[in-house]
Structure 1
Amino acid sequence: MKKNIKWLLLVSLSFVACNNDDETVAETPVTAGSANFSKYVALGDSFAAGYSDGALFKKGQDNAYPSVLALQFKQAGGGDFTTPYMEDNLGGFSSGGNQVPQFPRRSYFNGAAPATVSGTSATVLGSHVSGTASYNNMGVPGARSYHLLAPGYGNPSGLVTSPPTANPYFVRFASSNSTSILADALTQQPTFFSLWIGGNDVLGYATSGGDDSSPITPATGVPGVGFDGSYNALVAQLSTGGRKGVVANLPYINTLPFFTTVGYNPATLDATQAGQLNAGYAPYNAGLVNAKNAGFITEAERVRRTINFVAGKNAVVMVDEYLTNLAGAGLPSYRQTTVDDFIVLVSQGVSAKAHLTAGNGTAVPLQDRWVVSKDEVALLKTATDSYNITIEAAATANGLAFVNAKAIMDQLVNGGIRFGNYHMSATYVTGGAFSLDGIHPSARGYALIANKFLEAINAKYGSTLRPVDLGNYQIQYPASL
């Protein structure tokens, strides 16, 4: 009996010891430290807005990381946090009673694959939200670094110019036709700000397969031209007077599910199919031998360009503009994909699965917009590295909290992140961190980001803000909300 009592006592003490940290967190008073959260304004792009599942919609906006931050700030003296809500949970814009194709409704998982919710968005393209003069959440989907400084970025007339000079999401809540996102943020006289911008400065190039329809923003240049000048101008004005805030750097684009889900070798063939394809590409391969013998290409390039299919899984044929131009010899710039290339999940509204099933990548080479090639990945990496140097230097120079979003993404890709009984990773659909568009986070992913922001704020300003329970946030939105 005494042994049983001793055993129970030991278990009891062990239980208390194991839960001591949680009890300490619960008992620690929530304080702002040296920060002032009474007027928080968030600037950024679609991530700040709460974009998810390929669209911006009300429920997603509720779960945006700035909204999650604002709830935790309230416990330390934070004020109200207003959001320019879309009209419903369908997402996108309508015009004349029809959904605008460039702004489709959100996706949901139907049990087998992503599908699109039915209905027509009540958010009319070019409309303006009535009521509040300015909003705390200034996240604007599609915005690049220099767009935050651009006067007239919320002018409805700029939606019909070629190219457009305005953004329909900012048109909805801009205080005037001539204002900028930064100007509207500063007019509110914030006491604390968050800034996470730069993703779209490289993302447009990446999602279009590097086909140059959406060039990478150059690093150098004056505000309104290059990333460095624009970003430093943003931080300088936001930090005026010693105002405190938090900024985040950028992950590599090719770590997102949008670029990693399809894989480089998605073509599964039988022996007959492989033989037929090899016969079709035999003249091309023979031409490469002739080009090599004539000294037009090296043996290494000949091998790299040679097309060969086998029974089983295969790399697909792609057009690669970085290969030696052999048009004069009547040869196109074809090669098969490698592990260093990334086939995009969707291109111009068509899924890669549907596109590949139709014979593309085998009998018909994939065009540039479908693949981010090794050379294009290198360009994206160079730009992102340069942006991140600028972001961290600006944070240091202005005494701001800094979030290493690149490290968070690396962790999600390499093993994932565990919390309680849950595990999150960057795996498409099942990983829990990303929504169905393969680029933007799920609600749980946004909550994870918010917690990382809270950690950085606590470390920099001595605040004791509490993290949110990630288990309270869903990983997929159902068809009906």
Structure 2
Amino acid sequence: MTKLTKTLLGGVALLALLAAGCSLDTPDPATLADVEQPEGAEYFANYVAIGNSLTSGFMDAGLVTNGQVNSYPQLLASVMGAKAYTFQQPLIAFPGIGSSSTGDPSLVAGVLHFDGAGISLAGTTALADVQSTLLLAAAWPVPYNNLGVPGATTLDVTSALGSGSSQSPGNSYFDFILRNPSFGDVSMINQAIALGPKLITCWIGNNDILGGATGGEPEVGINITPTAEFNAMFTDILDGLTVGVTDRYGYEPAIFVGNVPGIASAPYFVPKALFDVMAGNPIPTEETAVYVRFPALGYLAAGGPVPLPPEWTLDAGEVGVVDTAVTEFNAAIAAAVAARDNVWLYDANTVLAGLDPNTEAAHFLALVGTLGIETAAATTYFSLDGIHPNNRGYALVANGFSAVINGALGTALPQIDIGDITWDPTYDMLPKQGGPLLDSRAAAA
């Protein structure tokens, strides 16, 4: 168990009484006899989101309130008419809880920010202070409506109870989002069912592929989930949600799923020619690179030797492995949706692939030199980590889901004006002068 895990679990021990709230005991059928199936906007009365970092509002390599209040589930809940106190998220105070390395096990990284010269950590928090200063909603007495966990895989939705059982070992995000064992050791899917959702969004599968792509050496069965295994787990999730809610509450939930975006949509994977421009000169690589991973800028800034080792690049064969997995996963998702009357698909892959790679899907660092901070931030849909959307990107996703919901349920959810959504990559912190484009700590994001 990690030190962060122990800190988080110690703080939520007072919530032990909540385990009963997650109980999935079989209800008395007589109590369900008169329950009516929701229609139209009635589905909006109880909305729950499950998934990974893309659901949680993760941006700039971390979870922080600035991103969470603009997560696509929160934006969807808002246009559905939910008040802030009725749609609950595991809000994290600034500087957030990030995925970067601090180099010091007693410190927890915050999110990344643009400091005026490059990308660096916006701050750190002492491990001992995480519970008291960062976890703003730890005492919420029932499961969160947004159960998206950064790093979650498809297997984790039904199997992970905490950092000790997550597919990627030691993922402490599970501990302060699922809050087990205080919640009775209940998985993401069963916490969602316990809330009795009438409408569910589920966006999962990205991390079953992304680990291979971001590691630079993708291989099916090693760091990419085989398609047959993904399909079995994904259909189990859909059927588990449907049966679980129907058996316990007497109505069938409407489920809306997102599919898996291709890596070409994410500015984390930088085309080799563009990477050379960002680095300031042509960078030799050990393999013939199609893409260079964005954090290689930090590797070079820290004095890493060249040619770049294979873990920093993807060659044509490796890109083919990843692209094939994305295609197969999305075919499995589409087939699962087509086979079920209460499930609909948001084609996130097509939407994100349609963004302009030179503007909307460009990395902030590739834009800021010519556009300036404010215009660059208002142009791209991606955050500083290059994988996750920024506030504007999550609004785009929310609009996509709401359009599918309207078509399925005959409702009239309004579209969010993305022009009204802002993203501040500086986090309103004073810039400093000098320094590398991407510092070595931020490079680990």
TM-score of the superposed pair, with normalisation by structure 2: 0.73
- 1:258 corresponds, among 268, 271, 277, to 268
1:438 paired residue number: 386
CA distance in 2, matches of 1:464, 1:479: 34
Residue 422 of structure 2 corresponds to residue 453 of structure 1: no
Structure 2 matches for 1:90-129, cutoff 5 A? 90-92=96-98, 104-120=109-125, 122-124=129-131, 129=138
> In the alignment, which residue of structure 1 is the partner of 2:242?
239
Residues 5-61 of structure 1, C-alpha deviations (whole Å, 9 max, x = no match): xxxxxxxxxxxxxxxxxxxxxxxxxx9726611110000100100000011112211
In 1, Cα distance between equivalents of 2:211 and 2:44: 34
**CA distance in structure 2 between the partners assigned to 1:70 and 1:92 by the alignment:** 25
Task: Specify the alignment match of 1:426 in structure 2.
Answer: 361
Tell me whether 1:382 sits opposite 2:317 in the alignment.
no
Q: Which residue of structure 2 aligns with residue 474 of structure 1?
A: 422
The answer to whether residue 149 in structure 2 is matched with residue 140 in structure 1 is yes
The 8 Å contact of residues 45 and 196 in structure 1, kept in 2 or not, is answered as yes
Report what 1:218 is aligned to. 226
Q: Give SS of 1:83's match.
A: coil
Structure 1 counterpart of 2:353: 410
1:395 equivalenced with 2:363 (yes/no): no
Whether the 8 Å CA contact 1:93–1:123 is kept in 2: the answer is no
Between the aligned partners of 1:93 and 1:259, the Cα distance in structure 2 is: 18
Task: Read off the aligned partner of 1:316 and give its amino acid letter.
Answer: P
- 1:292 match: none
Structure index of larger Rg: 1
Q: Which has the higher contact order (CA 8 A, sep 6+)?
A: 2
Which secondary structure does the structure 2 equivalent of 1:236 belong to?
helix
Give 1:118 shift.
Answer: 2.7
Whether the 8 Å contact between 1:209 and 1:370 is mirrored in structure 2 is yes
Question: For residues 452 and 265 of structure 1, do their structure 2 counterparts lie closer, same or farther at Cα, with a shift above 3 Å needed?
Answer: closer
| Cα deviation code 1:369-419 (max 9, x no counterpart) | 10112111111111111110111122222232311111111111457xxxx
- Seen in structure 2, the aligned counterparts of structure 1 residues 376 and 343 have a Cα distance that, compared at 3 Å, is same
* Cα distance change of structure 1 residues 94 and 258 upon mapping to structure 2, 3 Å threshold: closer
Structure-to-structure mapping, 1:155-234, within 5 angstroms:
155=162, 157-158=164-165, 165=169, 167-174=171-178, 176-177=180-181, 178-210=185-217, 215-220=223-228, 226-234=229-237
Displacement of 1:480? 4.1
- Distance in 1 separating the partners of 2:180 and 2:331: 34
- Contact 2:283–2:308 (CA under 8 A) maintained in structure 1: no
8 Å Cα contact 1:154-1:168 kept in structure 2: no
Could you tell which deviates more after superposition, 183-192 or 129-138? 129-138
Q: 1:99 to 1:450 in 2, by over 3 A?
A: farther
Q: 1:158 to 1:385 in 2, by over 3 A?
A: closer
- 1:37 alignment partner, SS class: helix
Of 294, 309, 317, the match for 2:285: 317
Q: CA 1:197–1:82 in structure 2 vs 1: closer, same or farther (change >3 Å)?
A: same
Q: Is the 8 A contact 1:262 1:343 kept in 2?
A: yes
Relative distance call for 1:206 and 1:106 in structure 2 (3 A) is same
**1: CA distance between counterparts of 2:72 and 2:278?**
40
Q: Is the 8 A contact 1:156 1:166 kept in 2?
A: yes
Alignment of 1:26-105 (within 5 A): 33=40, 36-74=43-81, 80-92=86-98, 104-105=109-110
Query: Shift of the alpha carbon at 1:87?
Result: 3.8
Q: Which residue of 2 aligns with 1:345?
A: 294
> SS of the counterpart of 2:202?
strand
1:58, 1:86 within 8 Å by CA — same for their partners in 2? yes
Taking the aligned partners of 1:94 and 1:259, their CA distance within structure 2 comes to 18
The letter for the 1-side match of 2:211 is: G
Superposed CA offset, 1:39-94 (max 9, x none): 1000010010000001111221111000000001117x999211111243333389
Which digits, 9 at most, give the CA deviation of each residue in 1:319-359, with x for residues without a partner?
Answer: 4xxxxxxxxxxxxxxxx43xxx1110115xx725526xx47
What residue identity is the alignment partner of 2:173? Y
Q: 1:414 to 1:54 in 2, by over 3 A?
A: closer
* Cα distance, 1:166 vs structure 2: 5.4
Q: Indicate if the aligned counterparts of 1:57 and 1:90 stay in contact, CA closer than 8 A.
A: yes
Structure 2: distance between partners of 1:207 and 1:381: 13
Partner of residue 286, structure 1: none
Task: Please say if residues 283 and 307 of structure 2, whose CA atoms lie closer than 8 Å, have aligned partners that are also in contact.
Answer: no
Shift of 1:439: 0.5
Distance, in Å, in 2 between the alignment partners of 1:144 and 1:157 is 14
**CA shift in 2, pair 1:428/1:73, >3 Å:** same
Q: Percent identity?
A: 28
Gaps of 5+ in 1: 1-30, 221-225, 270-311, 320-335, 416-423
Counterparts of 1:446 and 1:205, CA distance in 2: 24
Q: Cα 1:359–1:64, aligned 2, differ >3 Å: closer, same or farther? A: closer
Aligned length: 363
How well do the aligned residues superpose, as a CA RMSD in angstroms?
Answer: 3.5
- The code of the aligned residue for 2:123 comes to S
Contact 1:192 1:244 in 2 (8 A): yes
Q: Tell me if the contact between 1:232 and 1:394 (Cα under 8 Å) persists in the aligned partners.
A: yes
In structure 2, the CA distance between the partners of 1:462 and 1:206, relative to structure 1 (3 Å rule), is same
How far apart are 1:444 and its partner, in Å? 0.7
Report how far residue 124 of structure 1 moved.
4.9
User: What is the CA distance between 1:100 and its match in structure 2?
Assistant: 6.0
* Alignment correspondent of 2:29: none
User: Could you tell me how far 1:133 is from its partner in structure 2?
Assistant: 2.2
Shift, 1:254, TM fit:
3.0
Q: Structure 1 residues 35 and 227, CA, compared in 2 at 3 Å: closer, same or farther?
A: farther
Asked if 1 retains the 8 angstrom alpha-carbon contact of 2:52 and 2:150, the reply is: yes
Looking at structure 2, the residues matched to 83 and 92 of structure 1 have their Cα atoms a distance apart, in angstroms, of 17
Q: Secondary structure at the match of 2:345?
A: strand
Quote the Cα distance in structure 2 between the aligned partners of 1:195 and 1:49: 11
In 2: Cα distance, 1:166 partner to 1:414 partner? 35
Shift of 1:262: 5.5
